[in-house]
Amino acid sequence: DTGVSQNPRHKITKRGQNVTFRCDPISEHNRLYWYRQTLGQGPEFLTYFQNEAQLEKSRLLSDRFSAERPKGSFSTLEIQRTEQGDSAMYLCASSSSSGGAETQYFGPGTRLLVL
């Protein structure tokens, strides 16, 4: 079963450092999403790709955040100059635009702690 995978699963960093997370979607899925989840809250949308094109970015995605999806396969989410407020679970999801309704399948997440 090749579900959505994310690496690393956990990351501890010091304030001001840069971090990069990777997401590998389900292989036939052309849509990929990033969400952020803080303690006690539901996931909040950050950004979404269709193939390699980044089609929407949330206002939550400050200039310190950048996401890429080269060749429409895996995606990376980079946070520059991390702040303590960036501590959260970062979730990736993928789906297939086969027409009509679609379901997003989530990876296990990357938990970030900024000290």
Question: Each residue of 73-110: b (16+ CB within 10 Å) or e?
Answer: ebbebebeebeeebbbbbbbbbbeeeeeeeebeebebb
Residue 105 CB, nearest approach to other proteins (Å): 7
Residue 30 CB, nearest approach to other proteins (Å): 11
> 80 vs 105, which CB is nearer to other proteins?
105
Site for other proteins in 12-31 (CB under 8 A): 31
Say how far apart CA 13 and CA 33 lie, in whole Å. 24
Q: Which of 15, 83, 102, 113 binds other proteins (CB under 8 A)?
A: 102
Residue 28 CB, nearest approach to other proteins (Å): 17
Q: Give ∠ CA 71-19-44 in degrees, rounded to 5.
A: 75
Chain contacts with other proteins (rule: CB under 8 A): 4, 6, 31, 33, 35, 40-45, 48, 56, 91, 93, 95, 100-109, 111
